[in-house]
Amino acid sequence: MTLRELADLLGCRLEGDGDLLITRVADLASAGPGDVTFFFNPKYARALAETRASAVIAADDVPVPVAALRTREPYVAFARALALLHPQAAPPAGLHPTAVIDPTAVLGEDVSVGPYACVGAAAVVGARTSIRAHVTIGNGAVIGDDCLLHPHVSVRERVTLGHRVVVQDHAVIGSDGFGFAADATGTMIKIPQVGTVVVGDDVEIGVSTAIDRPPIGATVIGAGSKIDNLVQIGHGVELGERVILVSQVGIAGSTSVGAGTILAGQVGVAGHLTIGKGVRATAQTGIPNSLPDKAFVSGYPAIDNRDWLKASAIFRTLPALRKQVADLQRRLVTLEGAATPSAADVDESGSER
């Protein structure tokens, strides 16, 4: 398409030759004629100055050496440009001959079911949903419209997915929660996990992520939430809308996470807590207590990010501080020794001369 057509589709203001032909999106360093690239991070200012792209998606205040598509949200425009210029091929509607579909399952219009996929009894699959190879959908599960389940996904019995949900490979939604009760002999008795999982619209769930069902009630994933790879969400957890969980986050059971919260990589959250709206936790933070709205925390146990930064700066100086304290202790011992009267300075009565 022409650069002018792309600008119109993206809602950007065009600067430069609108008749340029654009065929793909590329990064600043590798882009060449016919490519559109984008600039968002100031770290790449040198690459921007040297780019050979035909056009750059950038903010209004950024000097660009080639044609520009101006927008207040360059990263968003970049994402939309990728979708336009690199559309993902959808599998054709229909059922693969090796798929196993229970006779009581209900499939919407234009559903695609791939090789060796299984759809259980009384399951419902919405229109235009794509079920890739080896996906398992349990009895009574409900999948919304326009969903995409990648290979080897398991949607367990009675789980509900909203519309436009994307689930990446090997994720398990509705696995048994980790619940056991010890009897008088110490034997661990499994607590049946007969609850469900409810996933809202426009959620994405990453590779090998596990979302557990509770013994009663539901684990809830709010609309618009984005969950990265290798995340563990315990039974009875409630995520608000637009929550972001980065890789290897773990949330223990019965914890509530407020809307708009972001937990960075390897954050751990204890159970039965309330995490407020708009909370930010940096990588590897451990959260043992509830947090108010808009808290910004780091470290373990989690403390205010600014305090953690100060503590981290001190931590690096601890070896030198330890040596200084040891030197001061030696000097103090020496001074105390010098101040103690010797035997020659004390007469027979015990009084100093």
Give burial (CB, 10 Å; 0-12/13-18/19+) of 251: buried
Write down the residue that tokens 């619209």 correspond to: 201
Non-local (6+) Cβ contacts of 71 within 8 A are 10, 11, 12, 13, 57, 58, 59, 77
Dist. CA 315–CA 336, nearest whole Å: 31
Structure tokens at 167: 């689930």
Question: Residue 22 carries which side chain, given as an amino acid letter?
Answer: I
Run of H or E including 268: strand 268-269
Dist. CA 266–CA 269, nearest whole Å: 10
The residues carrying an active-site annotation are: 235
Whole-angstrom CA distances from 282 to 141, 259, 286, 303, 306 are: 35, 17, 9, 11, 12
